[in-house]
Structure 1
Amino acid sequence: MEKFPKYFLSFFILVIVSNMQAQVNCNSVEGENCRKACEIYNKATVSQGSRSSQESFDKAIALCSTFSNAYMEKSVPYLKRGDFITWKSLIDKAVDMDPKMHLPYRAWCKFQFLRDYNGALADFDELEKLGLNLNGYFSQNGDYNLEIVKAICYSGLGQKERAISIIEKQLSTKDYNVGLYDYYHLGATYFDVRKYDQALENFERQSKYNDFAENIYYKSKIAKIRNKDYLDLKKIALQRYDAGKNMKDVYTHHFNKIYRVQILEL
């Protein structure tokens, strides 16, 4: 019997850790001006996105031009508002100053917001060159281990078999906690290469963890391809979708997301 994932506990912990990560222990910062910049930064992160917050980050940068966190946090509102040019100029500075700290975030954002698969993969490669294991990092929204994101990037570039290999390896990693959509993406990738037995096997596994509309849609689609009754599954997929049990993200759309109109047209 497969172990139920610790996803929800992991996500709760991730939210706490993410909130803590914005804060810096200023006693560990060298230089009087940089410590002052750190103190300004810590206060500014509480009201991220406000005019006063952005002005505070500017003050921190003026005091300590090498304080990378200030550039990173200043970049975030631009990203969320769709000003990707300004975001990139700021996050690139943060990465140049402290790549180990900021590369995981930049890579995820390239994937999530820009669908820049090559750019995200380049950042993942750079992280690994620095001796860091992607398995220890998660997406900013908590939905994915970055190894899974790496696989999805390859899938987006049409390298489906490579994506399958990475996800399979990650799911077989000892003590790995299965993510919210891991089996679904593996199933969808198998579906793309027309390996329907393997696809269905993973959609069934996904059902044990988190059975949302998109996952049921694919099971219905396989049934239709095989000339089996699929209408009941289609009906359930619609019900789940209308009940809000589908793939959602605050700022963007998930890779392999299915929309209501696609279910209706099945």
Structure 2
Amino acid sequence: MKIALILTIIIPAILKSQPNCEAFLYYGDSLRYKACKVAEKREGYYQFSREYQTALDEAIAIDPGFAFAYEAKSTAYLKSGDFVSWIELMDKAVVLNPKEHLSYRGWCRYQFFRDYEGAIRDIEKLDSLSKYDIGHSVNAHYHLHVARALCYKALGQKEKAIAIIENQLALSDYDPGLFDYLHLGVLYLELDNYQKAETSLIKQQEINDLAENRYYLGMLYKATKQKENAHRELVTAKQKYQKESWLFDPYTEPMDKIYMEDIDQALSLIDKMD
């Protein structure tokens, strides 16, 4: 199931990043077609290279309304830490084609800048413009509504975050994301709703069993004075962590991530329980 889920998320994301130049020609937009073909010259080059950036500059010169070129050009600035240039380019892309580019800007605001309010605005604006599913984050880890929920959590609105995730999970055509139940379980745990927290964290095991869901389940059992269960889950969390089965992102620290120090400290506390 996990492989199928990943493929169904990643493949559309990849295709979206590659405009079909022939479609522009088919619909009679010869200028956009020409710009698109020029932008294709960047393929095979590193995003920071002169060839990559020059191809996009030439495409923009041909058609200043070609939103894709601005987003494609912006990525190198994001990766290099030039956030001023990144947001200038992304803002242009969003103005030109909000339905196509709000998702990327909104996700980056969440992931890289912790601009939770800005991310919420972008995702909710996209939702208001769309008659279809608004899709997933660029890294394919989260549905954008789940990302929106995490933004609300970061702003202290945990009940609202829970409602958003629960609503998303209740959709008949939605397959739970790789971390949805983990974050939902942690939210319930933080609100001392131990029954729903336990249910969610156990469901996470069925989808993508990580050190994190075992750790938080162990902490739940600690809070409810179930020493043996707490010890079992924390030992399992440690084993999974040692096997690098953990919440991971190559660029930033994901919400609800834990470290070996957290597990060891929790085990030490468990050993002192009566």
TM-score, length-scaled by structure 1:
0.92
How big is the shift at 1:136?
3.7
- The answer to whether the Cα contact below 8 Å between 1:23 and 1:45 also exists between their aligned partners in 2 is no
2:9 corresponds to: 14
More deviation, 215-224/249-258:
249-258
Q: Greater relative contact order (Cα 8 A, min sep 6): structure 1 or 2?
A: 1
The aligned amino acid for 1:119 is G
Partner of 2:82: 83
Deviation at 1:8, TM superposition (A): 2.2
Give the CA deviation at 1:153. 1.0
- Identify the residue that residue 214 of structure 2 maps to in structure 1: 216
Matches within 5 A, 1:1-266: 6-29=1-24, 31-51=29-49, 52-133=51-132, 135-229=133-227, 230-266=230-266
Name which of structure 1's ranges 90-99 and 247-256 shifts more when overlaid on structure 2.
247-256
**Separation in 1, partners of 2:136, 2:130:** 17
Instruction: Supply the distance in 2 between the matched residues of 1:26 and 1:70 (Cα, whole angstroms).
Output: 13
Match for 2:226: what amino acid? K
Q: Which amino acid aligns with 2:126?
A: L
Q: Alignment identity in percent?
A: 38
How far off is 1:231 after superposition?
A: 2.3
SS of 1:173's equivalent in the other structure is coil
Cα RMSD, aligned residues only: 1.6
Stretch of structure 1 that moved more, 20-29 or 240-249: 20-29
**1:116 CA drift (Å):** 1.0
1:103 partner amino acid? L
Aligned length: 260
Distance 1:41 1:145 in 2: 29
Aligned residue identity for 2:138:
Q
* Partners of 1:184 and 1:85 in 2: CA distance: 34
Helix, strand or coil for the counterpart of 1:18?
A: helix
Q: CA 1:228–1:76 in 2, change beyond 3 Å: closer, same or farther?
A: same
Distance 2:10 2:164 in 1: 26
User: Which whole-Å deviations, capped at 9, do the CAs of 1:30-76 have from their partners, x for residues lacking one?
Assistant: 55443222112123144341311011111111111111110000001
* Unmatched segments (≥5 aa) in structure 1: 1-5
In the aligned structure 2, how far is the partner of 1:163 from the partner of 1:54? 39
Q: Distance in 2 between matches of 1:48 and 1:138?
A: 25
SS of the counterpart of 1:177?
coil
How far apart, in 2, do the equivalents of 1:150 and 1:179 lie?
14
- Distance in 2, matches of 1:221 and 1:128, equals 36
Are the counterparts in 2 of residues 48 and 77 from structure 1 also a CA contact under 8 Å? no
Distance, in Å, in 2 between the alignment partners of 1:163 and 1:122 is 15
SS in 2 for 1:222: helix
